[in-house]
Amino acid sequence: MPSIVALISGRGSNLAAILDYAKYTGAYKTAAVISNRPGAEGLKLAESQGVHTEVLDHTVFASRDEFDKALKQRIDAHAPDLVVLAGFMRVLTPAFVKAFEGRLVNIHPSLLPSFPGLKTHQQALEAGVRVHGATVHLVTAELDHGPILDQAVVRVREGDTAETLAARVLALEHQIYPRAIAALLHQTIRQTDGQVHGALAAPLAYDIE
Protein backbone atom coordinates (compact mmCIF):
# COMPACT_ATOMS: atom_id res chain seq x y z
CA MET A 1 0.00 0.00 0.00
CA PRO A 2 1.36 3.46 -0.84
CA SER A 3 2.19 5.69 2.10
CA ILE A 4 2.41 9.36 3.01
CA VAL A 5 4.10 11.47 5.66
CA ALA A 6 2.04 14.50 6.67
CA LEU A 7 3.62 17.71 7.94
CA ILE A 8 1.57 19.95 10.24
CA SER A 9 1.90 23.03 12.40
CA GLY A 10 -1.53 23.45 13.95
CA ARG A 11 -4.97 21.98 14.54
CA GLY A 12 -4.90 19.46 11.70
CA SER A 13 -8.21 20.25 9.98
CA ASN A 14 -7.10 18.91 6.61
CA LEU A 15 -5.15 16.18 8.37
CA ALA A 16 -8.40 14.85 9.83
CA ALA A 17 -9.89 14.59 6.35
CA ILE A 18 -6.74 12.89 5.04
CA LEU A 19 -6.73 10.32 7.86
CA ASP A 20 -10.45 9.64 7.54
CA TYR A 21 -10.17 9.09 3.79
CA ALA A 22 -7.37 6.58 4.32
CA LYS A 23 -9.36 4.80 7.02
CA TYR A 24 -12.52 4.39 4.98
CA THR A 25 -11.06 3.79 1.50
CA GLY A 26 -7.76 2.04 2.20
CA ALA A 27 -6.21 4.08 -0.61
CA TYR A 28 -3.02 4.81 1.34
CA LYS A 29 -1.54 4.64 4.81
CA THR A 30 -0.12 7.47 6.88
CA ALA A 31 3.36 6.41 7.96
CA ALA A 32 3.89 9.44 10.20
CA VAL A 33 2.69 12.89 11.12
CA ILE A 34 5.50 15.35 11.86
CA SER A 35 4.99 18.77 13.44
CA ASN A 36 7.39 21.68 13.79
CA ARG A 37 5.39 22.86 16.83
CA PRO A 38 5.32 20.70 19.97
CA GLY A 39 1.81 21.79 20.96
CA ALA A 40 0.11 21.29 17.61
CA GLU A 41 -3.40 19.91 18.13
CA GLY A 42 -3.05 17.73 15.05
CA LEU A 43 -0.59 15.53 16.92
CA LYS A 44 -3.30 14.45 19.35
CA LEU A 45 -5.64 13.80 16.46
CA ALA A 46 -3.10 11.53 14.75
CA GLU A 47 -2.27 9.70 17.98
CA SER A 48 -5.96 9.06 18.63
CA GLN A 49 -6.04 7.15 15.33
CA GLY A 50 -2.91 5.17 16.08
CA VAL A 51 -0.70 7.10 13.67
CA HIS A 52 2.97 7.55 14.55
CA THR A 53 3.81 11.18 15.43
CA GLU A 54 7.04 13.13 15.76
CA VAL A 55 8.00 16.67 16.75
CA LEU A 56 10.88 18.57 15.18
CA ASP A 57 10.88 22.00 16.82
CA HIS A 58 12.16 24.52 14.28
CA THR A 59 13.07 27.02 17.02
CA VAL A 60 16.05 24.94 18.16
CA PHE A 61 17.77 25.16 14.77
CA ALA A 62 20.16 27.95 13.86
CA SER A 63 18.96 28.23 10.27
CA ARG A 64 16.18 27.21 7.91
CA ASP A 65 18.66 25.04 6.00
CA GLU A 66 19.58 23.08 9.12
CA PHE A 67 15.95 22.50 10.03
CA ASP A 68 15.06 21.33 6.53
CA LYS A 69 18.00 18.91 6.46
CA ALA A 70 16.86 17.39 9.75
CA LEU A 71 13.28 17.25 8.52
CA LYS A 72 14.35 15.45 5.36
CA GLN A 73 16.13 12.83 7.46
CA ARG A 74 13.01 12.28 9.55
CA ILE A 75 10.87 11.88 6.43
CA ASP A 76 13.34 9.61 4.65
CA ALA A 77 13.29 7.23 7.60
CA HIS A 78 9.67 6.41 6.69
CA ALA A 79 10.29 6.16 2.91
CA PRO A 80 6.91 7.65 1.95
CA ASP A 81 5.57 7.82 -1.58
CA LEU A 82 4.27 11.35 -0.94
CA VAL A 83 4.98 14.15 1.53
CA VAL A 84 1.79 16.04 2.29
CA LEU A 85 1.72 19.58 3.70
CA ALA A 86 -1.36 19.77 5.90
CA GLY A 87 -1.20 23.21 7.45
CA PHE A 88 2.59 23.24 7.67
CA MET A 89 3.46 26.88 8.29
CA ARG A 90 7.04 26.92 7.07
CA VAL A 91 8.53 28.16 3.80
CA LEU A 92 10.65 25.27 2.59
CA THR A 93 14.12 25.73 1.13
CA PRO A 94 14.77 25.03 -2.56
CA ALA A 95 17.04 22.10 -1.61
CA PHE A 96 14.23 20.46 0.38
CA VAL A 97 11.72 20.97 -2.41
CA LYS A 98 14.17 19.55 -4.95
CA ALA A 99 14.75 16.46 -2.80
CA PHE A 100 11.04 15.62 -2.93
CA GLU A 101 10.31 16.91 -6.42
CA GLY A 102 7.08 15.44 -7.76
CA ARG A 103 6.29 13.93 -4.34
CA LEU A 104 5.54 17.06 -2.30
CA VAL A 105 1.90 18.18 -2.20
CA ASN A 106 0.14 21.22 -0.73
CA ILE A 107 -3.33 22.75 -0.64
CA HIS A 108 -3.80 26.50 -1.00
CA PRO A 109 -7.03 28.40 -0.19
CA SER A 110 -7.50 30.12 -3.55
CA LEU A 111 -7.94 29.28 -7.20
CA LEU A 112 -4.29 29.44 -8.15
CA PRO A 113 -2.63 31.18 -9.86
CA SER A 114 -4.88 33.86 -8.33
CA PHE A 115 -4.09 35.08 -4.81
CA PRO A 116 -0.94 33.25 -3.79
CA GLY A 117 0.47 33.87 -0.32
CA LEU A 118 -1.47 34.83 2.79
CA LYS A 119 -4.91 36.34 3.49
CA THR A 120 -6.31 34.84 0.31
CA HIS A 121 -9.98 35.25 1.26
CA GLN A 122 -9.56 38.94 2.00
CA GLN A 123 -7.63 39.31 -1.25
CA ALA A 124 -10.51 37.70 -3.13
CA LEU A 125 -13.09 39.99 -1.53
CA GLU A 126 -11.04 43.10 -2.23
CA ALA A 127 -10.55 42.04 -5.85
CA GLY A 128 -14.30 41.64 -6.29
CA VAL A 129 -14.14 38.16 -7.83
CA ARG A 130 -17.37 36.24 -8.28
CA VAL A 131 -15.86 32.84 -7.51
CA HIS A 132 -13.14 31.70 -5.15
CA GLY A 133 -11.89 28.31 -4.00
CA ALA A 134 -8.98 26.02 -3.19
CA THR A 135 -6.20 24.33 -5.14
CA VAL A 136 -4.24 21.13 -4.55
CA HIS A 137 -0.85 21.42 -6.22
CA LEU A 138 2.62 19.98 -6.35
CA VAL A 139 5.15 22.12 -4.52
CA THR A 140 7.92 23.83 -6.45
CA ALA A 141 10.57 26.33 -5.44
CA GLU A 142 8.24 29.16 -6.50
CA LEU A 143 5.71 29.67 -3.72
CA ASP A 144 2.15 28.57 -4.61
CA HIS A 145 2.95 28.04 -8.28
CA GLY A 146 3.34 24.27 -8.71
CA PRO A 147 1.38 22.08 -11.16
CA ILE A 148 -2.33 21.95 -10.26
CA LEU A 149 -3.81 18.58 -9.29
CA ASP A 150 -7.37 19.55 -8.31
CA GLN A 151 -9.50 22.59 -7.52
CA ALA A 152 -12.77 23.39 -5.77
CA VAL A 153 -14.98 26.39 -6.45
CA VAL A 154 -17.28 28.51 -4.27
CA ARG A 155 -19.39 31.45 -5.30
CA VAL A 156 -18.66 34.67 -3.42
CA ARG A 157 -21.94 35.72 -1.83
CA GLU A 158 -23.19 39.19 -1.09
CA GLY A 159 -22.25 40.06 2.48
CA ASP A 160 -19.43 37.52 2.65
CA THR A 161 -16.57 38.20 5.04
CA ALA A 162 -13.15 36.63 4.93
CA GLU A 163 -14.33 34.32 7.73
CA THR A 164 -17.55 33.12 6.07
CA LEU A 165 -15.77 32.62 2.77
CA ALA A 166 -12.95 30.73 4.47
CA ALA A 167 -15.41 28.35 6.15
CA ARG A 168 -17.03 27.34 2.85
CA VAL A 169 -13.67 26.94 1.14
CA LEU A 170 -12.35 24.79 3.99
CA ALA A 171 -15.29 22.39 3.71
CA LEU A 172 -14.35 21.76 0.09
CA GLU A 173 -10.64 21.47 0.91
CA HIS A 174 -11.56 18.46 3.02
CA GLN A 175 -13.11 16.86 -0.06
CA ILE A 176 -10.47 17.49 -2.69
CA TYR A 177 -7.21 17.10 -0.77
CA PRO A 178 -7.54 13.40 0.17
CA ARG A 179 -8.85 12.39 -3.25
CA ALA A 180 -6.03 14.21 -5.04
CA ILE A 181 -3.50 12.46 -2.80
CA ALA A 182 -5.06 9.08 -3.62
CA ALA A 183 -5.22 9.84 -7.34
CA LEU A 184 -1.56 10.83 -7.43
CA LEU A 185 -0.49 7.77 -5.45
CA HIS A 186 -2.45 5.42 -7.71
CA GLN A 187 -1.44 7.32 -10.88
CA THR A 188 -4.99 8.23 -11.86
CA ILE A 189 -3.31 11.58 -12.28
CA ARG A 190 0.42 11.94 -12.86
CA GLN A 191 2.94 14.68 -13.40
CA THR A 192 5.48 14.76 -16.21
CA ASP A 193 7.79 17.69 -16.95
CA GLY A 194 5.65 20.10 -14.95
CA GLN A 195 2.37 19.04 -16.58
CA VAL A 196 -0.42 17.05 -14.91
CA HIS A 197 -2.06 14.33 -16.97
CA GLY A 198 -5.07 12.10 -16.39
CA ALA A 199 -8.37 12.81 -14.69
CA LEU A 200 -9.81 12.53 -11.21
CA ALA A 201 -12.53 9.95 -10.71
CA ALA A 202 -14.72 12.52 -8.92
CA PRO A 203 -16.12 15.69 -10.52
CA LEU A 204 -15.09 19.20 -9.63
CA ALA A 205 -16.11 20.07 -6.08
CA TYR A 206 -18.18 23.21 -5.85
CA ASP A 207 -20.50 25.30 -3.70
CA ILE A 208 -22.08 27.87 -5.98
CA GLU A 209 -25.63 28.21 -4.70
Q: Just list the catalytic residues.
A: 108
Identify the CA nearest to 151 among candidates 172, 170, 166.
172
Cβ proximity of 85 and 7 under 8 Å: yes
DSSP secondary structure, the chain, as one string: --EEEEEESSS-HHHHHHHHHHHHH-S-EEEEEEESSTT-HHHHHHHHTT--EEE--GGGSSSHHHHHHHHHHHHHTT--SEEEESS---PPPHHHHHHTTTSEEEEESS-TTSS-SS-HHHHHHHHT-SEEEEEEEE--SSTT-SPEEEEEEEEPPTT--HHHHHHHHHHHHHHHHHHHHHHHHTTSEEEETTEEEE--SSPPEEE--
Contact present, 82 and 4 (Cβ < 8 Å): yes
**Are 138 and 104 spatial neighbours (Cβ–Cβ below 8 Å)?**
yes
